[in-house]
A and B are shown apart, each in its own frame.
Chain A
Amino acid sequence: MPIINFEFAIQEIPAVLKGVPITLAIAVVAMVFGLIFGLLIALCRIYRVPILNRLFIIYISFIRGTPLLVQLYVFFYGVPVLLDKMNQSFGTAYNADHISPLLYAFIAFTINVSAYQAEIMRASLNAVQIGQMEAAHSVGMTTFQALKRIVLPQAFLVALPNLGNTFIGLIKATSLAFAVKVVEVMALAKIIANDGYHFLEMYLVAALIYWLICWLLEVLFTFVEEKMRNKEIKQKKMNTTISKDLPLRV
């Protein structure tokens, strides 16, 4: 019997691959909603909205200062307790058992990612020159219009590499979701491994799958970045002839 049973590993790859949609779903949902909340948090912080600003400083510090696994557990075991208390106090009958583990994962990962996105978006918004907002105001835009049309598009461009890294980190972090009973790639690998004590084989399969996903994403991000850089270079080339035309009548 060899150290690694490759045959078994290869044979079980399709079974583990079945977890990929769940893995991606958690990552995408957390990324999208995390970005929306992160942006709102960043705006509250930049505009120093009373109370919320202070609240979010603590929120970000707490989320970034505690392990994701701990957050998942606190959430997973905390919500049923809260529901129980609520049912007692208000005579309601919500049953925590009916909440799907996936929903816990969606919410917990979104909360976690939003704290990181908030800091990325805050830095990116701050990187956009204040003059851009002032110019938008000066042509009569409201602050909301200025953010939407002028400032945010530029901030996103700045944020893009960081957002890419966050997403790749997130893909890997979803492997913790098995801890709250979500059946994603890691959970499937574990379940199959338990059956025949093929732990090493199945974890290698899981590793390969994560690697493949992350590699594909990196190729995608590099492509997007390259494309944007090329556009910039092309623009600079076009600019070699600066017209010195004298202005016509105004």
Chain B
Amino acid sequence: MILLKHIHKKFKNNHVLKGIDLEVSKGDVVTIIGPSGSGKTTLLRCVNYLEKPDEGIISINDLTIQTKKPVKKDILQLRRRTAMVFQHYNLFENKTVLENVTEGLIIAQKKSKKMAREIGVDILTKVGLADKINAYPQQLSGGQKQRVGIARALALNPDVLLFDEPTSALDPEMVGEVLEIIREIASGGVTMMIVTHEIDFACEVSNRVVFMDDGQIIEQGPPDDILIHPKQERTRKFLKRIMKEPDFTI
């Protein structure tokens, strides 16, 4: 279980997260939606400490981090229990597709090379990239890159998988292949937090939707409640605006 308590984050004078409380249970698929600049990315990055929160508590199962006085060892632990799929893939450019997946297994998790390779090949096969394991990232299409990104994160078998707008940098024709994989993972019982603008997708895969605005969680609940019958005026306005935009891709 993941517990965020009273998370605050400021960039200089810009108060980006204003006391976020969020609970994610094992197997939950939580989508976070909200207007641009509302702090969705920042929140996700705080969960694996790519961004250091100014205040608050992050805990994953038995690991608890007081963000005011974090222990270095705990931060590393937190990172090893979470995995991130980035909007712009961030694949290791100097490593092959397979190495991208096995680096974390070998270096951070201290698995044997043989075992890491087995896991890597297995997962890359599942995301449809068995024939690309020796390619370098610059040889891949956007959709393929993001599939590697997902494979890399999934291979680590994290307590929670974090997605930051995983399809928003893709050409429209490649969105489907990536969403399909995320759908598969979600149905496999992996705990996930997904930031996305794909409302239909959010509705379909998640069991909880969190609406954020201005650094706060405005409301949260099952997808139907939030996306179809929102209680808060701000949520309604946001959804109305997003639905109106024709031809909307994440």
- Chain A residues near B (Cβ < 8 Å): 129, 131-132, 134-142, 145, 149-150, 153-154, 157, 232, 235-236, 238-239, 242-250
Chain B neighbourhood of A249, CB < 8 A: 126, 184
Chain B neighbourhood of A140, CB < 8 A: 76, 79-80, 104, 107-109, 156
Contact with A along B113-125 (1 / 0, CB 8 A): 0000000000101
B135 pairs with A248, CB closer than 8 A: no
B127 pairs with A154, CB closer than 8 A: no
Known contacts being A139-B156, A243-B132, A247-B177, is A134 close to B108, with CB within 8 Å?
Answer: no
**A235 to B139 CA separation, bound complex (whole angstroms):** 6
B107 pairs with A145, CB closer than 8 A: yes
Residue B14 at the chain A interface, CB threshold 8 Å: no
A247 pairs with B181, CB closer than 8 A: yes
Beyond the given pairs A134-B86, A246-B128, 5 more chain A to chain B contacts, judged by CB atoms under 8 angstroms and listed by A's residue number, are A135-B91, A138-B50, A154-B94, A247-B184, A248-B128
Chain A neighbourhood of B40, CB < 8 A: none
A247 pairs with B126, CB closer than 8 A: yes
**A239 to B125 CA separation, bound complex (whole angstroms):** 19
A250 pairs with B184, CB closer than 8 A: yes
Chain A neighbourhood of B112, CB < 8 A: none
**A248 to B153 CA separation, bound complex (whole angstroms):** 17
Known contacts being A139-B108, A140-B79, A235-B139, is A243 close to B131, with CB within 8 Å?
Answer: yes
The distance from the CB of B219 to the nearest CB of chain A, in whole angstroms, is 29
**A149 to B141 CA separation, bound complex (whole angstroms):** 24
**A140 to B156 CA separation, bound complex (whole angstroms):** 9
Residue of B79, B126, B131 near A138 (CB, 8 A) is B79
The distance from the CB of B4 to the nearest CB of chain A, in whole angstroms, is 18
| Nearest A residue (CB) for B125 | A248
**A243 to B138 CA separation, bound complex (whole angstroms):** 15
Chain B neighbourhood of A246, CB < 8 A: 128, 177, 180
Chain B neighbourhood of A239, CB < 8 A: 135, 139-140
Interface centre among A136, A137, A138, A236 (most CB of B within 10 A): A138
Known contacts being A138-B50, A149-B103, A150-B92, is A235 close to B188, with CB within 8 Å?
Answer: no
Residue of B76, B123, B180 near A142 (CB, 8 A) is B76
| Nearest B residue (CB) for A129 | B90
The 16 sampled A-B contact pairs (Cβ below 8 Å) are: A134-B84, A135-B91, A136-B92, A138-B50, A138-B79, A139-B153, A140-B107, A140-B109, A141-B103, A145-B108, A154-B94, A236-B138, A239-B140, A243-B144, A245-B128, A247-B126
**A26 to B242 CA separation, bound complex (whole angstroms):** 66
A134 pairs with B76, CB closer than 8 A: no
B90 pairs with A134, CB closer than 8 A: yes
Chain B neighbourhood of A242, CB < 8 A: 140-141, 144
A135 pairs with B90, CB closer than 8 A: yes
Residue B234 at the chain A interface, CB threshold 8 Å: no
